[in-house]
């Protein structure tokens, strides 16, 4: 299962129909993340038809806050969060039976050391995927939707034969200015393949010109 929540629908969790580039990057970085490299998504291939499922579950309405320094220093009681008093039911519209191929590349950053090079990280990434290694458990949108990651093989199915306009989709969060600024792009599924643009704003400009 998977749920790549649309940011415009906060009260009820509703997934995008396809794996988003930011979620795909999260899967890859769970396997290999280093300050010396920056991952760039190029395309996402759908290997199974888009199928939906809906369910309702209990969730807490607020987060537990960390105790202040003064409370810790004085040995005071830490804030408590009682789930029974903060419980709310929320609907989730998620995807089921998902299967994707992620194509990505990485760029060397200014934090790369003298011994860092492309070949080193390519071999490291391939070895970790083959051995099932990761820094933390990869997941598909929500932590309870665990991702099973494996290398592409000759037996890997071809993308599904489906073409549709997916509308505006979250491209990624831009942290260059400190805060995470969401960036969107006009997503189109072409014969089961979602091309991820290097410049998301260019797709929005094309859409305005067409209108």
DSSP class of 76: -
Residues 121/123/124/126 CA torsion (nearest 10 deg): 120
Residues 6+ away with beta carbon under 8 Å from 174: 180, 181, 182, 183
Kindly state the tokens that stand for 126: 């391939």
Q: Are 2 and 144 within 8 A, CB to CB?
A: no
Measured CA to CA, the distance from residue 19 to residue 144 in angstroms comes to: 16
| Backbone Cα Rg of the chain | 20
13-60+88-162: CATH topology is Alpha-Beta Plaits (3.30.70)
pLDDT for the residue numbered 180: 76
What residues does 100 pair with on adjacent strands? 46
pTM: 0.83
Dist. CA 211–CA 202, nearest whole Å = 14
Q: Assign residue 4 a region (left: φ > 0; alpha: ψ between -120 and 50; beta: otherwise).
A: beta
In tens digits, what is the pLDDT along the chain, a chain of 211 residues? 999 999 888 778 899 999 999 999 999 999 999 999 999 999 999 999 999 999 988 777 666 666 666 666 667 676 666 666 667 788 999 999 999 999 999 999 999 999 999 999 999 999 999 999 999 999 999 999 999 999 999 999 999 999 999 999 999 988 766 677 889 999 999 999 999 999 998 888 765 555 5
pLDDT at 63 (0 to 100): 67
Which tokens belong to 197? 């643009």
Pairs from 186-189 (Cβ < 8 Å, separation ≥ 24): 187/18, 188/163, 188/164, 189/18, 189/46, 189/162, 189/163, 189/164, 189/165
The kind and range of the H/E element at 99 are none
């Amino acid at each position: 299962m998977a749920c790549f929540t649309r940011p415009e629908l906060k009260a009820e969790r509703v997934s995008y129909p396809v794996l988003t580039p930011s979620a795909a990057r999260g899967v890859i970085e769970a396997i290999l993340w280093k300050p010396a490299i920056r991952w760039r998504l190029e395309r996402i291939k759908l290997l199974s038809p888009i199928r939906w499922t809906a369910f309702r579950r209990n969730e807490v309405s607020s987060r537990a806050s960390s105790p202040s320094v003064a409370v810790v220093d004085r040995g005071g009681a830490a804030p408590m969060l009682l789930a029974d008093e903060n419980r709310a039911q929320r609907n989730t519209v998620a995807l089921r039976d998902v299967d994707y191929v992620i194509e990505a590349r990485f760029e060397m950053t200014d934090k790369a050391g003298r011994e860092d090079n492309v070949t080193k990280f390519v071999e490291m990434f391939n070895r970790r995927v083959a051995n099932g290694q990761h820094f933390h458990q990869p997941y598909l949108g929500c932590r309870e939707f665990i991702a099973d990651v494996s290398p592409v093989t000759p037996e890997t199915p071809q993308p599904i034969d489906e073409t549709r306009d997916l509308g505006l989709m979250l491209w990624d969060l831009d942290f260059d200015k400190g805060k995470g600024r969401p960036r969107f792009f006009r997503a189109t599924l072409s014969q089961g393949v979602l091309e991820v643009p290097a410049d998301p704003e260019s797709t929005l400009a094309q859409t305005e010109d067409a209108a």
